[in-house]
Structure formats: C-alpha cells, structure tokens
C-alpha cells in the first residue's frame, strides 16, 4: 500500500495531519496542515514521505470511521484561499480501444475536423515526446481559487444559472511553489472535476464558462510517484440506489499526454510559479455519465473510488437558490 496524507478536523475544530501506510494510520504530532509538512521538506531538502516519517507519531486513526463521521478535510488547502489555484487539462485520455478507433475513423472520414478532434489527435501524436522534451500543449482551463475547493462529503453546488452539474472522475496533481519559484509535486488525489456539460455542449467556446464550478477532492493525498495504471469506478446514487455506474481509467498508461508534459505546459507561465502558492491540477477523464444521456438532479450523490486510494471521493449535488434571469447590475462610482 502507498503512503497517504489526510487532513483531519476534530469536533472542537482542532486540525491535524494523518499519515496512512497500508491499513495503519496515525496522527502526526506538531503538524496541522499538509502545506506545513511540505514547507519543512523543501527547507530540509528532503521528501514529503521522509518528513512525514520523521514526525513523532500520535494517536491511531480509524480511517473509515472518521470518514463516515465527516471529519476529514480536503487533503490540501491554503491559509489564504486566493493563493490556491484550481486548473485542469482536457482531451488527455485515450479511452477504450473501441472509442479510439471510432474517433480515428470519424477523423479520417470527416471533411472538416473539429478543433476538439484536432487537439485530441495532436496530443495523441505529440503528448508523450520520446526524448523527454517539450511535447504538444493540451487543452487548458481555469476553475477558480481555493474558495471553489470542496472536501469529502461537502456539497458540489451548482450556481442558480447552471444548466447542468455533472461529474468528471479524475486524478489531480497537488503542488506547492517553493521560495525560489520551483514547483514541487506533493502527490495526487482522487477528484471530481465537476462541470456544466450542457453549457459546454451548446458551444465549445463556452467551455471556460462551464468549468467555473466547484471541484471535489477525496480525503487522501497519495505521496510519491503515482501508479501508471489506475482503474476505478464512477457512480451516481439517487435516493440511495445506483442510478449510473461505469469503470474509468487514468494514469499515464491510459493517457495521450505524459504528466511531465502537462505539468510543463501549466508551470511554464511565471504567473503559476509564485512562491507559496498551491495548485490543484486536474488531469482529465474519458468517462462521463453525460455521455450516456444521464441528467443529474439535486440530491444525487457522486461517488468515485479507485485503488490505491482506500476512501472514495463522495459528494452530494445541490444548487444555489436564486433567479437566474435576474440581471446582476454593476454600480458606478
């Protein structure tokens, strides 16, 4: 089993960080945030795993019981949410062999390729440069700052004007920027990159609007290198019963881009190398309930699980009250 870090909040509000190794989990004494441990590791020139293992061990933790009690937070956050960026990339996954063949046949037969098809094929051709150099840049999008980050069990809330709220089961990379502007990857989290697919389908130029939504992380931060082949299940529960369920694949073996290439094309911008900032970057998916004509509704529960994570990313769907047709007016000073 891989090492995982979890952020815990007791009923009295006291925060702590938990190190899980296999089925055993303990509180790390003297650590209240994952970012504290990361900053220690950077300063010491060590790794996050080394720094965690060097901490005095506190009380044991029953992960399943604490998860069910709602005491785990997102595995990363920032003291100032404005210094946490949620971003992502799309058209990065191969999908099934049948799906790839279908896309290739359609691409070959089409008189005019769509921009999305061109981007997919360019990523398939150049997303994993053999020499370790710079490859094809992917689709990229911005989701918001840390105020949009949703933890375990918290609601994924659609704005009142949303046309849809749909799941996207993904792997997210978690990063912190060092004092000299160097990006450090802390690890990976199971994620739901929640989006408005009806808005996106209307016109692909509305993708930017469709992505300005909340996003959820599962409770565990997998530290160290990620498995290259991750297989999980994404499902939607309605009134306690499974409404929809599909397997999903992620990890580099199932992607048209290497993680290194996706990371390069995000952090090549100096804007994203501001010391002290935290980044949560979603690596994309090939599995959506929306593709199976499922329409979610308030009260549905999204559940995403995949080994080596031992706890799911589980969140209910809600919607902000309000009149979506009411004009928001700007005051003139």
Q: What is the mean pLDDT of residues 162-172?
A: 96
pLDDT of residue 87: 98
pLDDT of residue 265: 97
Q: What is the mean pLDDT of residues 252-278?
A: 96
Q: What is the mean pLDDT of residues 300-327?
A: 96
Nearest to 76 by CA among 302, 319, 277: 277
Share of the chain above pLDDT 90, in %: 83
Q: Are strands 215-223 and 149-150 parallel, antiparallel or unpaired?
A: parallel
Bigger pLDDT: 28 vs 95? 28
Q: What is the mean pLDDT of residues 175-200?
A: 97
pLDDT of residue 1: 54
Q: Is the pLDDT of residue 99 over 50?
A: no
Q: What is the mean pLDDT of residues 205-221?
A: 96
**Among 117-121, 124-128, 208-212, which range has the highest average pLDDT?**
208-212
Q: Is the pLDDT of residue 271 over 70?
A: yes
Q: Is the pLDDT of residue 118 over 90?
A: no
Look up tokens 């094809």; give the residue. 136
pLDDT of residue 40: 97
Q: Is the pLDDT of residue 250 over 50?
A: yes
pLDDT of residue 100: 41
Q: Band of the pLDDT at 160, cuts 50, 70, 90?
A: very high
pLDDT of residue 111: 60
Pairwise CA distance, residues 256 & 122, whole Å = 9
Q: What is the mean pLDDT of residues 143-163?
A: 97
Q: Is the pLDDT of residue 163 over 70?
A: yes
Pairwise CA distance, residues 316 & 151, whole Å = 11
Q: Is the pLDDT of residue 262 over 70?
A: yes
Q: Band of the pLDDT at 72, cuts 50, 70, 90?
A: very high
What is the chain's mean pLDDT, rounded? 93
Q: Using omega within 30 degrees of 0 as the cis cutoff, is the peptide bond preceding 231 cis? A: no
Are 143 and 193 in contact by the 8 Å Cβ rule? The answer is: yes
Bigger pLDDT: 13 vs 94? 13
Q: Is the pLDDT of residue 209 over 80?
A: yes
pLDDT of residue 110: 58
Q: pLDDT tens, 12-64?
A: 999 999 999 988 999 999 999 999 999 999 999 999 999 999 999 999 999 99
Q: What is the mean pLDDT of residues 282-304?
A: 95
Residue 113 sits at φ, ψ, to 5 deg, of -75, 140
Are 211 and 141 in contact by the 8 Å Cβ rule? The answer is: yes
Pairwise CA distance, residues 92 & 82, whole Å = 27
């Amino acid at each position: 089993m891989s090492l995982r870090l979890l952020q815990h909040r007791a009923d009295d509000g006291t925060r702590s960080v938990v190190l899980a190794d296999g089925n055993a989990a303990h509180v790390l004494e003297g650590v209240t945030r994952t970012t504290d441990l990361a900053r220690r590791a950077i300063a010491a020139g060590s790794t996050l795993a080394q720094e965690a293992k060097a901490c005095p061990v506190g009380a044991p933790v029953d992960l399943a019981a604490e998860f069910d009690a709602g005491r785990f937070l997102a595995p990363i956050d920032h003291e100032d949410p404005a210094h946490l960026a949620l971003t992502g990339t799309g058209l990065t996954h191969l999908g099934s062999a049948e799906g790839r063949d279908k896309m290739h046949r359609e691409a070959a037969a089409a008189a005019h390729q769509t921009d999305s098809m061109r981007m997919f094929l360019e990523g398939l051709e150049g997303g994993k440069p053999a020499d370790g150099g710079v490859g094809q840049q992917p689709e990229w999008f911005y989701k918001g700052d840390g105020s949009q980050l949703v933890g375990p069990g918290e609601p994924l809330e659609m704005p009142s004007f949303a046309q849809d709220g749909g799941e996207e089961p993904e792997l997210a990379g978690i990063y912190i920027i060092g004092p000299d502007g160097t990006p450090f990857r802390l690890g990976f989290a199971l994620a739901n990159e929640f989006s408005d697919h009806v808005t996106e389908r209307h016109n692909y130029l509305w993708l930017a609007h469709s992505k300005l939504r909340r996003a959820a992380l599962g409770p565990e931060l997998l530290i160290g290198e990620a498995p290259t082949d991750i297989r999980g299940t994404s499902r939607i529960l309605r009134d306690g019963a499974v409404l929809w369920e599909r397997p999903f694949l992620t990890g580099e073996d199932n992607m048209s881009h290497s993680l290194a290439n996706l990371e390069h094309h995000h952090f090549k911008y100096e804007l994203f190398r501001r010391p002290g900032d935290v980044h949560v970057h979603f690596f994309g998916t090939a599995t959506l309930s929306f593709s199976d004509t499922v329409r979610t509704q308030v009260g549905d529960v999204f559940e995403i699980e995949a080994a080596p994570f031992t706890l799911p990313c589980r969140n209910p769907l809600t919607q902000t009250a309000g009149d979506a047709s009411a004009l928001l007016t700007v005051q003139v000073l």
